[in-house]
Structure 1
Amino acid sequence: MTAGSAAASRGARKIWLMFIVATVFGAVLVGPYLLLGSDNSRLDVNGGVHYALLVTHIFTALIALVLGPLQFVPAIRTRRQIHRTIGRLYLFAGVLPSALAAVPVALLSGRLITQIGLTIPAVLWLITGTLAYQAARRHDYTQHQNWMMRNYALTFLAVTSRILVPLLLLAQTPFITSAGSIGDRAPSMIPIGQSLGWIVNLIAAETLIRRRRPRSARSRRDVRPSPSGGSARPEDEECGV
């Protein structure tokens, strides 16, 4: 096995691991909402409309959370029609409705940290999704993948925020005098975890994108004649629009 194929194999395993993590977390997140009872909501809601928007946001976010990693699997990317179908479902059945529902859910929460911490990533979710779609339409597959990485980083907030909250609580343990107050502080930590989560994810995505740039530059230099007489890059054969 060559170094390149070994690296690709490791990358594929990481993507499948992300898919498993996303699926498990997604199942846990939607669990309380399967029976559509507002009494089971993890978040305080102000009436039926607020709850309906919350449920819409959660279930469509689940679509984006689970489908997102599949877009980066090399074996799927080489099958253009499958890649295109998954990408459109991800954007139009997942990201778009979930982001649009997230804004009023955040604003109706009545908590400033939640309003800011969820509205900003929701807007960025829409912007990065739009830029990814436009890049694919103009066949700029490098930028398409970069924007999709940023977009899924925002999607993965559903996972990261749930990891950060316990870590934030543990960090406060030396300053807490009674065991019961740890659980009491959990609800107040959720908005902070949500606000920090998307920032952490975007930093991670940008780091990965910058690491990919030298490889992309080499791929652009390594052009070869295409059957139509022009030139084709390796990534042009992997992505569909």
Structure 2
Amino acid sequence: MKTSRGHIAWLAVSGVVCVAITIFAASAYVTLDMAQARPALRGPVHYGLLVTHIFTGTVAVLAGVSQFWPGLRAKHPRVHRVLGRVYFAGVLPSSVLGVVVAQLSLYGLATSGPLTVLSVLWFASAVQGLRTARRRQFGEHRIWMIRGFALTTAAVTGRLWGLLLGALLNPADDAAGLMVFATANWLSFVVNLLVAEWWIQSRGYTRALPSSALRPSISSRSAQSSASVA
């Protein structure tokens, strides 16, 4: 599929924004000073888990941005594969730690709920992306990578939603501020997934898949397993 200049420009701008916001968010934890942590913490162990979650998530964002650059897979397949492995090495531990950190939140279900759902979906999409790549089902792999990266960038869009809602609603107390934060967390990945699904359908990625990939039968799965063994 031919890539237009507008598409390339959109990828470049969104990539720069993702990288800039991610680095800014992670900068507060580079010094490992617990006093600079943005959320309230239960103690050093909580902080250590949070920092590991943030740094591995940062790796995932930085590596993931490169995976969507046009021509990288075609012109530099080895670089694409290496960065793909780096991406999964960031997503898998960060998503697991995301569940743990969410349960340790001092702000209750309003914040732990959306962060838990996000982390579980993030892990599942990464597993699917890795599995389809190993099976060389590259059409399905591309679709799962789009979904997965939409969840990866929830850390970026969540901050943008928080700023927008805070400016519009101007919360006057802690309870209102918490509601804004919780709403931003839900919007961060729900809207991203909706946009990702629109993108997948509008680009015709599902139409390019074989029918067996859309509704695999028992025989087709057995054939795929036999082919992978061979």
Establish whether TM, by shorter chain, passes 0.5.
yes
Deviation readout 1:37-86 (Å, 9 max, x if unpaired): 11111011101111000000111111111111211112211121111001
* CA contact 1:65–1:156 (8 Å) conserved in 2: yes
- Please name the residue that 1:37 is paired with: 33
* CA contact 1:169–1:185 (8 Å) conserved in 2: no
How many angstroms does 1:190 deviate by?
Answer: 2.0
Task: Give 1:15's aligned amino acid.
Answer: L
Deviation readout 1:150-197 (Å, 9 max, x if unpaired): 000001111111111122123324xx7xxxx37984454223211221
Aligned pair count?
Answer: 208
Match of 1:192 among 183, 191, 195: 183
Indicate yes or no: 2:76 matched with 1:76.
no
* CA contact 2:126–2:148 (8 Å) conserved in 1: yes
Identity between Structure 1 and Structure 2 (%)? 33
> Structure 1: which 4+ aligned runs deviate by more than 4 Å?
182-185
| Structure 2 residues not aligned, in runs of 5+ | 211-230
Indicate yes or no: 2:90 matched with 1:99.
no
Q: Pairwise CA RMSD of aligned residues? A: 2.2
Using structure 2 for the length normalisation, give the TM-score. Answer: 0.83
Match of 2:163 among 163, 166, 171: 166
Whole-angstrom CA distance in 1 between matches of 2:26 and 2:99: 19
Task: Give 2:40's aligned amino acid.
Answer: D
| Structure 1 residues not aligned, in runs of 5+ | 221-241
Task: Give 1:106's aligned amino acid.
Answer: A
* CA contact 2:122–2:152 (8 Å) conserved in 1: yes
Greater gyration radius: 1
- Please name the residue that 1:47 is paired with: 43
Whole-angstrom CA distance in 2 between matches of 1:11 and 1:215: 20
- Please name the residue that 2:218 is paired with: none
Change (3 A) 1:119 1:215: closer
Change (3 A) 1:215 1:48: closer
Match of 1:127 among 124, 127, 149: 124
